Amino acid sequence: MNKSLLQKILAPMITIVILLFMVAWLAGSFNDKVQPGLNKVSTYYSSDNDYTVVTEVTPILEPVAANIAAKQATIISSRLLARIEKINVRAGELVKKGDILVELEKKDLKSLVSQASEKMNAVQARTIEVKRNLDRANDLFTQKLIAAFELDKAKADHQSIEAELIASKQVLKQAQTTLAYATLISPINGRIVDRFAEPGNTAQPGNKLLSLYNPLSLRVEAQVREELALTLIQGQIIQVELPSMNKTVKAEIAEIVPAANIGTRSFLVKASIDLNNDLLPGMYGRMMLPAGNENVLYVPKNKLARIGQLNFIWLNIEGKLQRRFVRLGKQYKDKVAVISGLKEGDIIANVQTK
């Protein structure tokens, strides 16, 4: 057999041997074998601290989507068609009742006030003159130096000028009131939410310029299904969760609107909350409303053990230990609700695993 023929035979055989070796290695043929079954666990057991599972009556709290709203809110708008000269506030600023928020152009309005004031002064001067004429006419008529016609004419002139004086005073008052409309002040203590105009814009009657709310009047509002809403009473204390703040606060039901929303068959429920500077209108919250009671099994956290993602406990069944896998629910400070895997009366063994 020549050398080239030997190489042709050995090459495939070596390749096959290498492939078989790799397959055996990948299959774990060269690793230590582990027999199927559970590993034996060394435990220390003492029956002194066994725990008997009991059912506890727990209130059911139904979460209802809610939002933060301001009870006292207002929109600032103009009664005049005028150019905006100055806006003294921006969104987020705190203001007090009576603070000047917006100033409109008032040159023409001041001119009207001045004209009305001068006209009233002129009428007042004429009123004094007419009153003197009436007094003289009375004296002359008493002395029978003038006819009754002259006295009646003097009285009519006096009544006419008095009416004109009243009218001029009303015109002045109206002009002053219109001038006052050019200065927009805050009607409440509050915080500016937004401003919708800038200096130089023209203010249109009724168009909003600013919006503000009173931070002291914040409350929680939610549409509550009618079966649950009918169980609530005014003055009831409830819990409100604020997910964005990771906080739960107390609230007092202040109002239940006595008319259901036809589309959703729900009632609008409003609850007052304490002042919190971090809260803003429109924020999301959850009303936790009582919806009855349920029987729940609780176990202490220190009685639970874990394998991977599975939770289990050790049960004492007629003096023998048995591992029982459980499904857990809500967790509290020192105990956990068990959804399945246990029943009332089960005895949880005090086992420490080594």
d(CA 224, CA 230): 9
How confident is the model at residue 182, as a pLDDT?
Answer: 94
pLDDT(280) > 90:
no
**Token match 């016609």: residue?**
149
How confident is the model at residue 97, as a pLDDT?
Answer: 92
Helices (H) and strands (E) in the chain, counts: 4, 20
Determine if the pTM surpasses 0.85: no
Going by C-beta distance under 8 Å and a sequence separation of 6 or more, which residues neighbour residue 281?
Answer: 68, 69, 70, 73, 193, 213, 218
Q: What count of Cα atoms within 13 Å lies in the side-chain half-sphere of residue 30?
A: 7
Residue range 5-17, pLDDT digits in tens = 666 677 777 788 7
Strand-strand pairing, 218-225 and 237-242: unpaired
d(CA 281, CA 91): 13
Give burial (CB, 10 Å; 0-12/13-18/19+) of 137. buried
Asked if 299 and 293 touch (Cβ cutoff 8 Å), the reply is: no
- Find the mean pLDDT for residues 167-187: 94
How confident is the model at residue 274, as a pLDDT?
Answer: 85
Residue range 296-329, pLDDT digits in tens = 888 888 888 888 888 888 888 877 888 889 898 8
Going from the N-terminus, what domains does the chain have, and what CATH number goes with each? 38-72+214-354 (2.40.30.170), 79-211 (2.40.50.100)
Higher-confidence residue: 342 or 241?
A: 241
- Alpha-carbon dihedral sign for residues 260, 264, 265, 267: negative
Question: How far, CA to CA in Å, does 322 sit from each of 225, 325, 346?
Answer: 46, 10, 11
Size of the chain, expressed as the number of residues it contains: 354
How confident is the model at residue 38, as a pLDDT?
Answer: 45
| Average pLDDT value for the chain | 86
How confident is the model at residue 2, as a pLDDT?
Answer: 58
pLDDT(41) > 60:
no
pLDDT(40) > 70:
no
As a whole number of Å, the end-to-end CA separation of the chain is 68
How confident is the model at residue 46, as a pLDDT?
Answer: 54
